[in-house]
């Protein structure tokens, strides 16, 4: 593809805006303008592209219709999605991008005239973009269905899973090499596409729901790389820059996220393979008793505390209780109680997810404390109020080497003088494992919808 110098410069401008945008997205003050800068870059790339299109009336009409379909779908989905469903929304936008990347490479390969062979660079980039794009598409679809709870969130394993996935991966490699070396044509590429879709599904199935954010981040990086591959396929520099930036920064972000969970990426992605997840503790635990209290008792306890640390989790988000928890914090502060929020790096379902939700309820930044910042203060806290969280305060991560979450850094809620758990039921957390802390003598359960319970607590605190 030959580009005039004017178009190339416009693409350069777009690339610069992507870089500036990504950079600004790393600071809370400039993040929003960073996103706008990146969007402006995209607008420029879009307009520049209109000028390089070979004009063919019918195709341009089709293209316009396609854009006019995609535009409202994307905008409406993004506008209407609840903040709690954000992770699966990102997964689906990532998936469609990966799908588009695979299809672009597929078409370009169809254009190689029959009887001639594609250049080495073209076939390698096509195979790369098709495989990575399709894995990202299918993997994101599974991540979406797991997070949306259309499918069991726990790892799905079966005997021989690892060998089966190995065979699929090997078949992809063989097929890819055949396509590059022997020029066996487009039919083989379709087969490759299907194999890659199968691998994408098989790759994400055994990964537990709690690890899904890291997987989405990884697939996000994959899509970036597939897009970069397409840049080589169609010979377009802005695709190479945009895709590679996302591929590199996305890989880095993925590593930061798995570090935050205290696990190697390898363990997280392949940990469930070949492991039979029967937890003997969980069976015995069902018969054990827990202590539950009334909102009045707990409200009084809170009102006469010096220091309360709130540990918000996904359950808080599900109950839309961000505003209620803020009201409780206000009521306690009015009585002179020190209130902080302890934010686990993976609270909610994505790093930073809980901060977004609490910001929505106008909780002041200063009260949101990182795990490292707050963990030493649990000792001096009178009450750790755990609202809809579970895995992030599960001591099994510290003391039970057999546990799937062993090694994950947790909030030291168990060190507080009293622990209040607000939960809907005794159901285990997202990782599907039982929590010893629930049975601890200093723990009191407050069952019910988090929002209703919080409203009752606010009334109880005010009455105390």
Partner 1 sequence: MNAQLVNEISIFVLAVFLGFEVISKVPTILHTPLMSGSNAIHGVILVGAMVIMATAHGAVQDVVGFLAVVLATINVVGGYVVTDRMLEMFKSRNPRGQKQP
Residue 123: helix, strand or coil by DSSP? Answer: helix
Q: Catalytic residue at 391?
A: yes
| Complex with partner 1: residue 225 or 445, whichever CB lies closer | 225
In this structure, what are the phi and psi dihedrals at residue 434, rounded to the nearest 5 degrees?
-75, 155
Given candidates 155, 208, 224, 409, which one binds partner 1 under the rule CB under 8 A?
Answer: 224
**DSSP tag of 292:** B
Question: Nearest approach, Cβ of 261 to partner 1 (angstroms)?
Answer: 12
Interface of this chain with partner 1, residues 398 to 417, rule: CB under 8 A: none
- 1 belongs to the binding site for partner 1 (CB under 8 A): yes
* d(C-alpha 282, C-alpha 419), whole Å: 21
Distance of closest approach, residue 421 Cβ to partner 1, in angstroms: 24
Residue 232 or 421 with smaller CB distance to partner 1: 232
Is residue 353 close enough to count as binding partner 1 by CB under 8 A? yes
Binder to partner 1 among 271, 352, 395, 407 (CB under 8 A)?
A: 352
Q: Which of 95, 111, 133, 93 is nearest to 230 (CA)?
A: 133
Any contact of residue 227 with partner 1 (CB under 8 A)?
yes
The single residue among 128, 144, 203, 232 that binds partner 1, judged by CB under 8 A, is 232
Taking CB under 8 A as the criterion, the residue among 331, 350, 374, 393 binding partner 1 is 350
Number of H helices, E strands in the chain: 18, 6
Cα–Cα distance list, 134 to 190, 239, 411 (Å): 11, 18, 38
432: contact with partner 1 by CB under 8 A: no
Indicate the helix (H) or strand (E) that contains 341. Answer: strand 338-343
Q: Closest distance between partner 1 and the C-beta of residue 278, in Å? A: 33
Number of residues lying near partner 1 (CB under 8 A): 118
Q: How far is the CB of 301 from partner 1 (least distance, A)?
A: 24
* Contact present, 108 and 133 (Cβ < 8 Å): no
By CB neighbour count within 10 A (0-12 exposed, 13-18 middle, 19+ buried), where does 93 fall? middle
Question: Per CB under 8 A, which of residues 255..284 are in contact with partner 1?
Answer: 256-257, 260
Q: Restricting to residues 164-223, which ones interact with partner 1 according to CB under 8 A?
A: 216-217, 220, 223
Binding to partner 1 (CB under 8 A) within 48-77 occurs at 49-50, 52-56, 59-60, 62-63, 65-67, 69-71, 73-75, 77
Go through the chain and tell me how many residues it has.
464
Which is the catalytic residue, given 391, 414, 434, 449? 391
Using CB under 8 A as the binding rule, whether residue 375 contacts partner 1 is answered as no
Separation between Cα atoms, residue 104 and residue 237, nearest integer Å: 15
> Hey, CA dihedral for 83, 90, 204, 211, is it positive or negative?
negative
Give the nearer residue to partner 1 in terms of CB position, either 98 or 428. 98
d(CA 80, CA 348): 19
Which of 333, 331, 340, 337 is closest to 385 using CA atoms? 340
Residues 6+ apart with CB under 8 A from 342: 309, 310, 311, 369, 371, 374, 375, 378, 384, 411, 413
Tell me which residues in 79-118 interact with partner 1 (CB under 8 A). Answer: 79, 81, 83, 86-87, 89-90, 92-94, 96-97, 99-101, 103-104, 106-108, 110-111
Shortest Å, Cβ 429 to partner 1: 20
Instruction: Specify the residue, 109 or 421, whose C-beta has the smaller distance to partner 1.
Output: 109
SS3 assignment, position 393: helix
Query: Can you give the C-alpha Rg of the chain in angstroms?
Result: 25
Q: How far is the CB of 22 from partner 1 (least distance, A)?
A: 5
DSSP state of 26: T
- Check binding of 230 to partner 1 (CB under 8 A): yes
* Active-site residue set: 391
């Amino acid at each position: 593809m030959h580009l005039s110098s004017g178009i190339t410069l416009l693409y350069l401008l777009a690339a610069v805006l992507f870089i500036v945008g990504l950079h600004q997205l790393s600071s809370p003050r400039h993040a929003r303008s960073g996103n706008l800068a990146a969007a402006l870059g995209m607008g420029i790339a879009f307009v520049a592209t209109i000028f390089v299109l070979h004009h063919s009336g019918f195709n341009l009409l089709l293209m316009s219709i396609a854009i006019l379909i995609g535009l409202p779908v994307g905008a409406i989905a993004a506008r209407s999605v609840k903040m709690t469903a954000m992770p699966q929304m990102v997964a689906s936008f990532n998936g469609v991008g990966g799908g588009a990347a695979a299809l672009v490479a597929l078409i370009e390969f169809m254009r190689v005239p029959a009887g001639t062979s594609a250049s080495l660079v073209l076939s390698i980039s096509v195979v790369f973009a098709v495989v990575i794009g399709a894995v990202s598409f299918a993997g994101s679809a599974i991540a979406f269905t797991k997070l949306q709870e259309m499918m069991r969130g726990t790892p799905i394993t079966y005997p021989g899973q690892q060998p089966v996935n190995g065979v699929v991966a090997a078949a992809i490699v063989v097929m890819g090499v055949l396509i590059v070396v022997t020029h066996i044509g487009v039919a083989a590429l379709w087969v490759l596409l299907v194999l890659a879709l199968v691998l994408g599904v098989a790759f994400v199935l055994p990964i537990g729901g709690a690890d899904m954010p890291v997987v989405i981040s990884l697939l996000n990086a994959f899509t970036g790389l597939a897009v970069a591959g397409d840049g080589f396929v169609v010979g377009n520099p802005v695709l190479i820059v945009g895709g590679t930036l996302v591929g590199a920064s996305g890989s880095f972000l993925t590593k930061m996220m798995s570090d935050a969970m205290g696990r190697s990426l390898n363990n997280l992605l392949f940990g469930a393979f070949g492991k039979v997840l029967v937890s003997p503790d969980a069976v015995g635990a069902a018969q054990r008793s827990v202590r539950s209290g009334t909102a009045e008792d707990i409200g009084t306890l809170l009102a006469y505390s010096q220091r309360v640390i709130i540990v918000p989790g996904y359950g808080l988000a599900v109950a839309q209780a961000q505003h209620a928890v803020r009201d409780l914090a206000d009521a306690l502060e009015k009585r002179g109680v020190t209130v902080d929020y302890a934010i686990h790096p993976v609270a909610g379902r994505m790093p930073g997810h809980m901060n977004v939700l609490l910001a929505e309820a106008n909780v002041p930044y200063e009260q949101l404390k990182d795990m490292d910042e707050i963990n030493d203060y649990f000792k001096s806290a009178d009450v750790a109020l755990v609202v809809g969280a579970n895995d992030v305060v599960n001591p099994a991560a510290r003391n039970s080497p057999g546990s799937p979450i062993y090694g994950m850094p947790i909030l030291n809620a168990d060190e507080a003088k009293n622990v209040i758990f607000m939960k809907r039921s005794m159901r285990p957390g997202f990782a599907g494992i039982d929590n010893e802390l629930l049975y601890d003598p200093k723990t009191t359960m407050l069952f019910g919808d988090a929002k209703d319970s919080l409203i009752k607590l606010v009334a109880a605190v005010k009455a105390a």
